[in-house]
Structure 1
Amino acid sequence: MSTRVLNTEKAPKAIGPYVQGKIVNGFLFASGQIPLDPATGEMVQGDITAQAEQAMQNVAALVGAAGTTMDNIVKATCYLKNIEDFAAFNEVYAKYMDEDAPARSCIGGVDLPKGALCEIEVVVYVG
């Protein structure tokens, strides 16, 4: 089995005993991204739109650091503090995905680290 830990300054550092991502046999398993500003490590303030934008930027940074694009995401799992934010979250999420979007699950009503309104984890084919 081929494995490599992914580290990039363009995404927030892990806030616990885990890595930003791990590449295993051609797939990136990215840790969940909450709306932390990678430069400061602080939570982006604002509503679900602002927080979803930062979380998606963090996902894009990890995907880019793995040497691939968002088009190669095969599975996304999204967590929302409030399921009522589903439509607004989707508007931001859709900006980052092409028409051949990945498979996805979205779970609402969960408490997330640091009081985040959303968290996004992805599995990405990197070849």
Structure 2
Amino acid sequence: MKKIIHTPNAPAPIGPYNQAVLYGNMLYTSGQIAIDPKTGNLEIDDIKSETRLVMENMKAVLSAADMSFEHVIKSSIFVSDMHNFAAINEVYGSYFNEENAPARETVEVANLPKFVNVEISMIAAK
């Protein structure tokens, strides 16, 4: 049976989806972008700050499911400009231990919701 995960510490969904769904011991998150959950404002002026907010939003979603980045087994990173890869990777990498970092793909796309620069989703397991 699936359980809907929701926290006020991450941006509220803006469509017919949820922040995450827990199914058994597996957590499937929706993509997170750089919306400040306290103000609802986008913060996309600096790619490192933008990525950090995305990761903090993801941290809040994981926490709402009693998980952490240690539980993440797969990440998907969508970027609007692959030239930002190094900066995004630097911030993203600071949330994981290299020895047990999750599997991942990074894909450049034409556009992202609200024309942000980066969106990240994850799959985690207990």
TM-score, structure 2 normalization = 0.95
Q: Which residue of structure 2 aligns with residue 105 of structure 1?
A: 105
What percent identity do the matched residue pairs reach?
A: 34
Deviation at 1:15, TM superposition (A): 1.3
CA distance in 1, matches of 2:28, 2:109: 24
- The 3-state SS of whatever aligns with 1:18 is coil
CA distance in 2, matches of 1:50, 1:116: 12
Q: Which residue of structure 1 aligns with residue 48 of structure 2?
A: 49
Moved over 3 A (4+): none
Listed as ranges, the gaps of 5+ residues in structure 2 are none
Q: Which residue of structure 1 aligns with residue 88 of structure 2?
A: 89
Q: Which residue of structure 2 aligns with residue 30 of structure 1?
A: 29
Whether contact under 8 Å (2:27, 2:124) holds in the other structure is yes
Question: What are the Cα deviations for residues 4-40 of structure 1, in whole angstroms up to 9, with x where unaligned?
Answer: 0001001100011110110012111000000000111
CA distance in 2, matches of 1:40, 1:91: 26
- The 3-state SS of whatever aligns with 2:54 is helix
CA distance in 2, matches of 1:89, 1:104: 13
RMSD: 0.9
Question: What are the Cα deviations for residues 32-88 of structure 1, in whole angstroms up to 9, with x where unaligned?
Answer: 000000111111131211110100001111111110110110000000010110001
CA distance in 2, matches of 1:110, 1:25: 34
CA distance in 2, matches of 1:98, 1:65: 21
Listed as ranges, the gaps of 5+ residues in structure 1 are none
Partner amino acid, structure 2, of 1:58: N
How many residue pairs align between the two structures? 125
Whether contact under 8 Å (1:36, 1:42) holds in the other structure is yes
